[in-house]
């Protein structure tokens, strides 16, 4: 069975601190995709990034960076110099190749960035 | 920028009543998903359409829930009768579905249902 675990339920930081959100996934499939979504208070999920299982290169986009390690089945997300606008719930999700595109979500990490 | 539309945004209903939610996906997106998100949890898939056909409804409580996408465009999710445990956010998403499961899904703002 496939599963995504986000062990951190809530994280609170002060503005300008760096913060890492952890994601651990389980699957026996060799081809899969990992995603991060942001859910602000307004409710809609916003896509942040997708990685496929064959690409372990880390990625950086502005203040955001992602570290994918197949050896530990982890896909962690780091925000550098956090800002109040980063406050949201962040979800890690897994999609298995050729299973229709269904996303399997973790329980989410609520990030609160205080000024 | 194209968006997924959902209505209503909020719905309060009494248990045993019927309730319906509507979703209009991004134009050209063949795949439409309905997810349910219970407070404090991640979304879980209820039903997935490819054009007008259901491709996955394994987690849909079919005794009370139904979903349709008659012309392969917009979709309706219905609950009859509603139960207290149905209180949740109902999210609609769409994707191009070029294949394989790698597509980015675009989510609507959701419908927050409260059953009293």
Using one digit for the tens of pLDDT, what is the confidence trace for B31-58? 999 999 999 999 999 999 999 999 999 9
Asked if residues A103 and A95 have their Cβ atoms less than 8 Å apart, the reply is: yes
pLDDT at A56 over 80: yes
Residues of A whose CB is below 8 A from B108 = 44
Give residues 20 to 49 of A whose Cβ lies within 8 Å of B. 31-33, 35, 37, 42-47
In degrees, rounded to 5, the angle at the alpha carbon of residue A63 between the alpha carbons of residues A12 and A104 is: 70
**Is there a contact between A4 and B43 if contact means CB atoms under 8 Å apart?**
no
* Separation CA B100–CA B84 (nearest Å): 37
Return the pLDDT at B27. 93
- Let me know: does B66 contact B78? Beta carbons within 8 Å: yes
Q: What percent of chain A stands above pLDDT 90?
A: 83
Q: What is the pLDDT of residues A1-24, one digit of tens each?
A: 899 999 999 999 999 999 999 999
Q: Return the residue of B nearest to A99 by Cα.
A: B101
Q: Which of B31, B35, B44 sits opposite A101 (nearest CB)?
A: B31
Residue written as token pair 């609609």: B92
| H or E element at residue B65 | strand B65-68
Residue B99 confidence class, pLDDT cut points 50, 70, 90: low
- CA B18 vs. chain centroid, Å, equals 16
Quick one: pLDDT at residue A114?
A: 97
Paired tokens of A90: 């962040």
- Describe chain B by its helix, strand, coil percentages, rounded to 5: 5, 45, 50
Q: Is the pLDDT assigned to residue A43 strictly greater than 90?
A: no
Q: State the smallest CA–CA distance between residue A80 and chain B in angstroms.
A: 24
A90, HSE (Cβ side, Cα atoms, 13 Å): 27
Q: Taking 80 as the threshold, does the pLDDT of residue B26 lie above it?
A: yes
């Amino acid at each position: 069975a496939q599963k995504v675990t986000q062990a951190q339920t809530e994280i609170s930081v002060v503005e300008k601190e760096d913060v890492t959100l952890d994601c651990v996934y389980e699957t026996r499939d060799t081809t899969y995709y990992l995603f991060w979504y942001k859910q602000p208070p307004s409710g809609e999920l916003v896509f942040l990034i997708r990685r496929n299982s064959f690409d372990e290169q880390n990625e950086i986009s502005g203040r955001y960076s992602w570290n994918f390690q197949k050896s530990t089945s982890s896909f962690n997300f780091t925000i550098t110099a956090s800002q109040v606008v980063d406050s949201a719930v962040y979800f890690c999700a897994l999609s298995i190749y050729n299973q229709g595109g269904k996303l399997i979500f973790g329980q989410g990490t609520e990030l609160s960035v205080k000024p | 920028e194209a968006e997924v539309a959902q209505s209503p945004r909020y719905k309060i209903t009494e248990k045993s009543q019927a309730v319906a939610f509507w979703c209009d996906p991004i134009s050209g997106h063949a795949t439409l998903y309905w997810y349910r998100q219970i407070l404090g949890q991640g979304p879980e898939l209820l039903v997935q359409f490819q054009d007008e056909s259901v491709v996955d409804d394994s987690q849909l409580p079919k005794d009370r829930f139904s979903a349709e996408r008659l012309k392969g465009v917009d979709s309706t999710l219905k609950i009859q009768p509603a139960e207290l445990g149905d209180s949740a956010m109902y999210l609609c998403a769409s994707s191009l579905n070029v294949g394989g499961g790698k597509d980015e899904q675009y989510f609507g703002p959701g419908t927050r249902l409260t059953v009293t």
